[in-house]
Amino acid sequence: MRDSASVTEILLDLIAIPSVSSASNQAVIDYARQWLKPSQWDVRTFPYTDLNAVEKVNLIAAPSRLLQDGLPGEASASPVGSSVARRSREDDIPSVELALVCHTDTVPYPADWPEAVHPKVINGRIYGRGACDVKGFLACILATVGDLDVSEQSLAVVLTADEEIGCVGAKRLLAEKPLRVRHAVVGEPTGLHPVVAGKGYALGEVVVRGKAAHSAFPQAGRSAILDAATLIDSIRKIGLRAATERHERFEPPFTTLNIGTISGGTAKNIVPAECRFLVEWRPVPGQNEHWIADLICEELARAQREDPGLQATFEPIRIDPGFETDPQSKLVGELEGLSGNAAVAVAFGTEAPYLKKLGAETVVFGPGDMKTAHSVEENVVIEELERCVQVLKRLAYSLAK
Ligand SMILES: [Zn+2]
């Protein structure tokens, strides 16, 4: 059990523990547990095996007094694999006033960037993978709870796996309905600005099937690429329609649409038999996140009615909603006051929509700049880390009562 360390020391430790989403996050979870004193915290883990048979772990910790023995998941003392009784009634789900939420995985890093997991401190900044996305905030949580007496607090720490590959851990944890949360702070690099709205993220694939033929005799086949071109133009028009439904908090103030990749055909002199392309959209909150998918399906059906020879399918791969929190809410007001920064909206996806489903008023908040995340320049300003710890400590006293 660790007693105390500066937030900088904790972050240097965390960056040195690789936790790319393809690998297990167990070591980060084990490290975090060292800061959750067993005398104060009841720690529950929610292990699962991912699609590649890698062990992943979500974690929830709350003051022992709040959980008694009712939270699902594996208790600290129980051996891995033991089963714990599930609560049978909704009313029995424990609730907390404030949850500090953070993902434990990072995006990959290139082999020629050894500092990714050997962090460097240069000019008051810490460089390394996860410095701002989002081990910086995790270090702030651990520095906060390491010092805090939580015997009177209604506070939870929620750590998730697999955020960077589609909020997989958060979705699984939500399905367990482990606790109810009144206010949640979800860590992401926001430069310590409280983020009160975020666009969602959605992706789907269109596959167009044609018929191969010698290109000297195109009538003998059907070009999947030309059919794809027709469909792409229709999808472009769906994008124009989406742009008319405005949400002024964002820039740009509407659901954006992108066709990011396309592939098809086998040779310059063969009529292509197949063409596929990816359609991505970022739905503004308040709009049905399935709306664009529905419009694409309608468009495919219409095109096929007009031209029965056209064969195309659309498969959604991922549809995550956006989120929006009332800027007048207590949590937003507190965070604006404590950070000195006004609330903003962001265009990147986060776990916030899932936390909202636990009943939470959710704000995304944390040190660092998302523009350096996912790059070899990833860094965080140490002074921002320290300010974040102060904000979280005060927030724990003002909200977690
Ligand atoms: Zn992140």
The secondary structure of the chain, three-state, reads CCCCCCHHHHHHHHHCCCCECCCCCHHHHHHHHCCCCCCCEEEEEEEEECCCCCEEEEEEEEEHHHHCCCCCCEECCCCCCCCCCCCCCHHHCCEEEEEEEEECCECCCCCCCHHHCCCEEECCEEECCCCCCCHHHHHHHHHHHHHCCCCCCCEEEEEECCCCCCCHHHHHHHHHCCCEEEEEEEECCECCCCEEEECCEEEEEEEEECECEECCCHHHCECHHHHHHHHHHHHHHHHHHHCCCCCCCCCCCCCEEEEEEEEECCCCCEECCEEEEEEEEECCCCCCCCHHHHHHHHHHHHHHHHCCCCEEEEEEEEEECCEECCCCCHHHHHHHHHHCCCCEEECCCCCHHHHHCCCCEEEEECCCECCCCCCCCCEEEHHHHHHHHHHHHHHHHHHCC
Do the domain assignments include residue 1? Answer: no
Nearest to 314 by CA among 226, 242, 232: 232
Angstrom CA distances, 357 to 25, 103, 162, 186, stand at: 24, 17, 18, 13
Checking if the pLDDT of 42 tops 80, the result is yes
Do the domain assignments include residue 16? Answer: yes
Angstrom CA distances, 254 to 164, 239, 248, 282, 320, stand at: 24, 10, 8, 9, 16
Ligand 1 center–CA 40 separation, angstroms? 28
**Residues 145 and 214 occupy one common structural domain:** no
**Residues 34 and 69 occupy one common structural domain:** yes
Q: Confidence class of residue 254 from pLDDT cuts 50, 70 and 90?
A: very high
Alpha-carbon 149 to chain mean position:
30
Mean pLDDT of 315-332: 93
- Residue of 74, 162, 163, 164 with catalytic role: 163
**Residues 137 and 277 occupy one common structural domain:** no
Question: What pLDDT does residue 400 have?
Answer: 80
Do the domain assignments include residue 246? Answer: yes
Domain closes at, from 260, 288, 319: 319
**Residues 183 and 91 occupy one common structural domain:** yes
Task: Kindly tell me the sign of the dihedral angle through the C-alpha atoms of 132, 198, 349, 61.
Answer: positive
As a whole number of angstroms, the distance between CA 253 and CA 197 comes to 12
Question: What pLDDT does residue 78 have?
Answer: 39
**Residues 245 and 355 occupy one common structural domain:** no
Provide the residue range defining the domain that includes 29.
7-198+322-399
- Mark whether 163 is an active-site residue: yes
What percent of the chain lies above the pLDDT cut of 90?
77
CATH of the domain at 309: 3.30.70.360
**Residues 192 and 207 occupy one common structural domain:** no
Q: Confidence class of residue 68 from pLDDT cuts 50, 70 and 90?
A: low
Summarize pLDDT for 275-292 with one digit per residue, the tens: 999 999 999 999 999 999
**Residues 163 and 194 occupy one common structural domain:** yes
Ligand 1 center–CA 135 separation, angstroms? 9
Most confident residue range from 59-68, 238-247, 339-348: 238-247
**Residues 11 and 129 occupy one common structural domain:** yes
Ligand 1 center–CA 162 separation, angstroms? 10
Q: Which residue has the higher pLDDT, 280 or 72?
A: 280
As a whole number of angstroms, the distance between CA 399 and CA 299 comes to 49
Ligand 1 center–CA 337 separation, angstroms? 24
Do the domain assignments include residue 2? Answer: no
What percent of the chain lies above the pLDDT cut of 70?
93
Checking if the pLDDT of 23 tops 90, the result is yes
Question: What pLDDT does residue 348 have?
Answer: 77
Ligand 1 center–CA 59 separation, angstroms? 17
Checking if the pLDDT of 84 tops 60, the result is no
Question: What pLDDT does residue 86 have?
Answer: 42
Q: Confidence class of residue 88 from pLDDT cuts 50, 70 and 90?
A: very low
- Mark whether 233 is an active-site residue: no
Alpha-carbon 288 to chain mean position:
19
Ligand 1 center–CA 334 separation, angstroms? 23
**Residues 311 and 331 occupy one common structural domain:** no
Alpha-carbon 142 to chain mean position:
20
- Residue of 13, 42, 105, 334 with catalytic role: 105
**Residues 37 and 160 occupy one common structural domain:** yes
CATH of the domain at 52: 3.40.630.10
Strand partners, 364: 186, 195
Pairing, β 55-63 against β 41-49: antiparallel
Summarize pLDDT for 167-222 with one digit per residue, the tens: 899 999 888 878 889 999 999 999 999 999 999 999 999 999 999 999 999 999 99
Structure tokens at 83: 């089963």
Where is average pLDDT lowest: 85-89, 109-113, 160-164, 165-169? 85-89
Total number of domains constituting the chain: 2
Mean pLDDT of 149-177: 90
